[in-house]
């Protein structure tokens, strides 16, 4: 499809609230009440957390990072304090006091990409920490065995962690960005990361079996040609909206492409992000299939998922609408993936000239759902973003949807309505949150409690409080 016809398609979609398998849903249709949330506690982690704005975000609250996780009745949080030291805290759930320890590592540069991600390997009970990297070697360390599996019998002191490494126990990864831990079936801890750089990078996987790390390798290619707005780009990277294991062990990955040639945008103030794609794996990330089930790539081989792979795009969108990368996804109890994306709909403009200001003025989030037949449906969430940043999606045990928008606002929709009854259930009042937030997905699954880590807005480099607020779902 050419760029002009793509714009017409976007405009047609955007004038309605939703498009479902080619048919329109009336904006007023709602078959059930959206689920409520109940505010519980709001606790302070640090009164003087490190604060600076970089890439329109904060290093402590990049929503795609895993800075808040739970395991074995304890919750763990990670951030940088005003001295630039990395800090790890834990509390006994549901409402124990936070215990903090300061690591020796200090943030190397003022770059919001260099956030902290946490992972837990149940096989040996270790807490893993990946941090402070943007196209550089990783900073990685792990705790002693058993610290996370038997937390009540272990004191919370820095000596229980090993030294900071620039590899995974000697396994070099090279220059990388966006380390994220995921627990695979069989209690294997996986690390997802990008090598290369924005517009010319590849996604890779490594895996920890409870004792040893192994690099599985690349699964996405940066090469191939993409044309838009009279220009051609020959390199790109795939930005993931998540890697999520669902029932039966299927690994789901929704994504957007980021092109290396900025000339493919309609204006230099835009983003080269385009399209929403989807692949899945039934063998823990070794083999990748498109929406129709056709194999399109194998990890660590010469056959990788690429822009030329068939059947990847589930929601076409040219690079004219400030589509954000690395938003959010989840998988329901039937194994159906749900994805949140956001951009400036075509009813506002056919060409974004300043992505940050346009998203703040007119950005909207959309809920995408794949049904059991492989058909995708898209519904606009009728709440203005009023922000540049990303939202986060979680599902409860009944498959109701909860989207945490920037500033900590929560909108929900019920499964019974077909996810059409989107309602603001918490407006963020009193939080003074900067923008993006971090959610604890593991606690949603185990306790039906949504924990949100947020940092209060400040100015310049003045430190500000970082906090965790809890909500009961449903």
Which residue ranges make up each domain of the chain? 3-72+215-473
Residue 320 is predicted with a pLDDT of: 98
Residue 31 is predicted with a pLDDT of: 52
- Bridge partner residues of 139 (DSSP): 131
Positions in the chain whose pLDDT score sits under 70: 1-31
Residue 27 is predicted with a pLDDT of: 43
* pTM exceeds cut of 0.85: yes
Residue 160 is predicted with a pLDDT of: 98
Residue 11 is predicted with a pLDDT of: 34
pLDDT tens for 164-179 read: 999 999 999 999 999 9
């Amino acid at each position: 499809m050419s760029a002009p016809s793509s714009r017409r398609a976007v405009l047609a979609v955007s004038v309605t609230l939703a498009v479902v398998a080619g048919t329109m849903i009336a904006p007023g249709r709602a078959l059930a009440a959206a689920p409520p949330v109940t505010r519980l506690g709001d606790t302070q982690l640090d009164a003087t957390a490190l604060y600076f704005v970089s890439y329109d975000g904060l290093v402590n609250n990049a929503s795609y990072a895993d800075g808040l996780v739970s395991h074995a009745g304890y919750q763990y949080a990670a951030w940088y304090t005003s001295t630039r030291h990395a800090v790890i805290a834990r509390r006994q759930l549901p409402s124990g006091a936070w215990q903090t320890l300061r690591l020796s590592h200090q943030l190397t540069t003022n770059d919001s990409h260099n956030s902290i991600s946490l992972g837990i390997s149940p096989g040996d009970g270790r807490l893993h920490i990946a941090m402070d990297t943007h196209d550089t070697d990783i900073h990685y360390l792990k705790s002693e065995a058993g610290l996370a599996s038997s937390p009540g019998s272990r004191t919370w002191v820095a000596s229980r962690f090993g030294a900071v490494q620039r590899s995974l126990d000697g396994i070099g990864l090279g220059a990388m960005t966006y380390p994220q831990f995921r627990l695979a079936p069989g209690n294997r801890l996986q690390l997802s990361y990008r090598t290369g750089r924005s517009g010319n990078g590849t996604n890779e996987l490594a895996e920890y079996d409870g004792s040893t790390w192994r690099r599985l390798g690349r699964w996405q290619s940066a090469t191939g040609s993409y044309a838009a707005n009279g220009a051609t780009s020959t390199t790109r990277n795939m930005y993931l909206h998540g890697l999520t294991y669902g029932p039966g062990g299927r690994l789901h990955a929704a994504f957007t492409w980021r092109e290396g040639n900025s000339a493919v945008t309609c204006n230099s103030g835009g983003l080269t992000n385009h399209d929403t794609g989807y692949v899945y794996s039934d063998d823990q990330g070794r083999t990748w299939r498109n929406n129709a089930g056709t194999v399109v790539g194998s990890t660590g081989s010469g056959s990788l998922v690429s822009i030329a792979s068939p059947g990847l795009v589930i929601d076409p969108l040219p690079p004219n609408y400030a589509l954000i990368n690395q938003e959010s996804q989840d998988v329901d109890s039937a194994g159906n993936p749900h994805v949140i994306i956001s951009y400036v709909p075509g009813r506002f403009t056919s060409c974004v000239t300043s992505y940050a200001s346009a998203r703040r003025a007119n950005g909207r989030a959309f809920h995408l759902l794949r049904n059991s037949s492989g058909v995708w449906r898209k519904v606009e969430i009728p709440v203005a973003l009023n922000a540049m940043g990303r939202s986060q999606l979680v599902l409860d045990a009944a498959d109701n949807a909860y989207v945490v928008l920037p500033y900590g606002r929560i909108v929900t929709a019920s499964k019974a309505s077909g996810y059409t009854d989107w309602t603001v259930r918490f407006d963020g009042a009193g939080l003074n949150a900067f923008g993006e937030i971090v959610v604890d997905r593991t606690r949603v699954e185990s306790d039906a409690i949504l924990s949100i880590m947020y940092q209060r807005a400040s100015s310049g480099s003045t430190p500000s409080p970082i906090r965790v607020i809890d909500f009961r779902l449903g």
